[in-house]
Structure 1
Amino acid sequence: MAQSAPGNNAQSAPVSNPPWWRLPIVWLVIGGPALVVVAGLTTVVIAVRNVDPVLDTSAGQVHSAKELPAHKARNHAADPTRAVLDAN
């Protein structure tokens, strides 16, 4: 009796090789980075369309009444003696 090698079975089914776009793993590998690129470009578009205005923070600026407590607290944190002098 002759024994055949394990891989030499003449009655084995033929191996099908589908095209690359039919394999689900390909879409996972391509889809993840593609989704990140689209999300990044969307973020850039939102940031460019909704630019925040630059605030004038010069020293000579007059502060409104509702900004004064924050202004005094900021000055006190920076230089405690200056905040006391500003209060007088």
Structure 2
Amino acid sequence: MNVTSNEPAANDRWWRHPLLWMVIAGPALVVVASFVTFWYAWDSPDPLVSADYYRRGVEINKTLADKKLMPALAGRNHAATPAEAVPLPRREAAP
């Protein structure tokens, strides 16, 4: 009677064990993915600051001043509050 086993023989070479390739595949895929990510990042850098950042910031501040928006500290957490329920901004005490 022949008894067959699913286990590999003890004298098999290391590359003949399928579980070993599953263990190697995970880190190998991570290395390949990191090279692909590096290549993509190197090929298409994003400009973070425009050359005229100061002028654009001044224009944004003028736009916000024209809309008469409340300062962030006084208006935070009131994004969904109706306009009539929004608290008034703090006034500085006169010296």
TM-score w.r.t. the length of structure 2 is: 0.47
Count of matched residue positions in the alignment of Structure 1 and Structure 2 = 60
Which residue of the partner structure matches residue 47 of structure 1? 41
Q: Distance in 1 between matches of 2:74 and 2:44?
A: 36
- State the 4+ residue runs in structure 1 displaced beyond 6 angstroms: none
Which residue of the partner structure matches residue 77 of structure 1? 72
Structure with more relative contact order (C-alpha pairs < 8 Å, separation 6 or more): 2
- Work out which of the two has the higher radius of gyration on C-alpha atoms and give 1 or 2: 1
Q: Distance in 2 between matches of 1:75 and 1:38?
A: 50
Alpha carbons of 1:17 and 1:50: their partners in 2 closer, same or farther (altered >3 Å)?
A: same
Identical residues among aligned pairs (%): 37
Give the gaps of 5 or more residues in structure 2: 1-8, 76-95
Which residue of the partner structure matches residue 11 of structure 2? 17
Q: Compute the RMSD of aligned alpha carbons.
A: 3.3
Give the gaps of 5 or more residues in structure 1: 1-14, 81-88
Amino acid at match of 2:45: V
Which residue of the partner structure matches residue 33 of structure 1? 27
